[in-house]
Amino acid sequence: MAKITASEVNKLRQMTGSGMMDCKNALVEAEGDFDKAIEILRKKGQKVAAKRGDREANEGLIVSLADGTGKKGVITALTCETDFVAKNADFNDVANKIANIALNSGVETIDELKTQSFDGNGLTIGDKVMEMVGKIGEKIDVTALDFIEADTVVAYNHPGNQVASLVGLNAEGHSEVGRDVAMQIAAMAPVALDKEGVSQETIDKEIEIGKDLARQEGKPEEMLEKIAMGKLNKFFKESTLLNQAFIKENKKSVGQYLKEIDSNLTVTEFKRHSLS
C-alpha cells in the first residue's frame, strides 16, 4: 500500500474541493496516483447522483448572457436541491462559467454541453457537475439550454437569478428597448409571441375552461361558446407578449410600444426560464 502524506491529501483536496477523508481514501485506493484518485472521486459523485436521482432539484441559478456582438444569447440553468447551495459563491462561479461556455461553444443540446471542456485540462462540464455532487451531496445538474440569434439580442437576469429571459428583435441598435421587453418577459411570463403562436391544444383547453366556468355561473347553454371565445380573447391579451399591457406604461401593449419606437420593429423570438 502506498504511503499517503497529509500534504498529498491536502493537494488533492485543493484540486477537487472534496473532503479530507474522501481525498485520503481515494489516494489510498489509487495507490498515490492523482489522476486515478480524481477519477475515483468523480465516480463517487456519479454514485451519489444516482442515489439522489429521485430528489427534487428546484433551486439553483439561471444565467442569461448575450455575446459581444449583441446578436446571440443563451440561457442555462444549473440546479440543486437547496438555496443554501445555490447561494454559494463557488456554485455561482460554476453556473456563470457554464453559461459562457455554452454561449461560445456552438453546442445545441445539454448532452453536448456536458462534453465541453470546463478547465482546459481534460475536465468536462459533466465531470465538474459530478465532482460537485460528490463534494456537496446534493442532486446537481444542468437542466436548461436555450439560444436566440437575431439582429438585436438582449439578456436579462432578474436579481437572484431565479428567473431569466432572452429577447430577439428584428433590427439593430435597440438594446434599451430589448431590455424593457426582456424585463416584461421575465415579469409577465407570456406563453407565446402572439395569438398565432399559441398551440391549438392550449386554445382548446382555454375554450373548455371558459365554457365550464360559464356553465357553473348558470349561463344558458347556447351562450357558452360566445362567452368562452370572449375569455379566450382575454387570454390572448394577457398571455401573449405583443398583446400584453406594457409594464412600464400599461395603457399601451408591448406591440404598440415597439411600433412607437419604429413602425417595423418587432420581437422575432423570446425565451424565459424560471425556477418557481
- Model pLDDT for residues 22-58, shown as the tens digit of each residue: 888 989 999 999 888 888 888 887 777 777 777 788 8
CA atoms within 13 A on the CB side of 103: 24
Least confident of 104-113, 130-139, 184-193: 130-139
Say what the pLDDT of residue 44 is: 80
The C-alpha cell 433551486 sits at 59
Dihedral class, residue 31 (left if φ above 0, else alpha if ψ from -120 to 50, else beta): left
Confidence bin at 122 (pLDDT 50/70/90): confident
Q: Who contacts 151 (Cβ-Cβ below 8 Å, separation ≥6)?
A: 71, 168, 169, 170, 171, 172
Contact 165, 269 (CB under 8 A): no
d(CA 176, CA 248): 13
Residue 120 predicted with pLDDT over 90: no
- Model pLDDT for residues 179-229, shown as the tens digit of each residue: 999 999 999 999 999 999 999 999 999 999 898 888 888 999 889 999 999
Higher pLDDT, 85 or 40: 85
Residue 14 predicted with pLDDT over 80: no
Residues 117-153: b if buried by 16+ CB within 10 A, e if exposed: ebeeeebebbbbbbbbbbbbebbbbbebbbbbebebb
DSSP assignment of 197-214 equals GS-HHHHHHHHHHHHHHH
- For the record, the C-alpha cell of 212 comes out as 365550464
Mean pLDDT of the chain: 92
- Model pLDDT for residues 223-259, shown as the tens digit of each residue: 999 999 999 999 999 999 999 999 999 999 999 999 9
Residue 1 predicted with pLDDT over 60: no
Confidence bin at 60 (pLDDT 50/70/90): very high
Contacts 24+ apart (CB under 8 A), 43-52: 44/134, 45/129, 45/130, 45/131, 45/132, 45/133, 45/134, 45/135, 46/130, 46/133, 46/134, 48/133, 48/134, 48/137, 49/130, 49/133, 49/139, 49/140, 49/141, 52/81, 52/133, 52/137, 52/138, 52/139
Segment 144-165 mean pLDDT: 97
**34-51 vs 6-16: helix crossing angle, rounded to 10:** 50
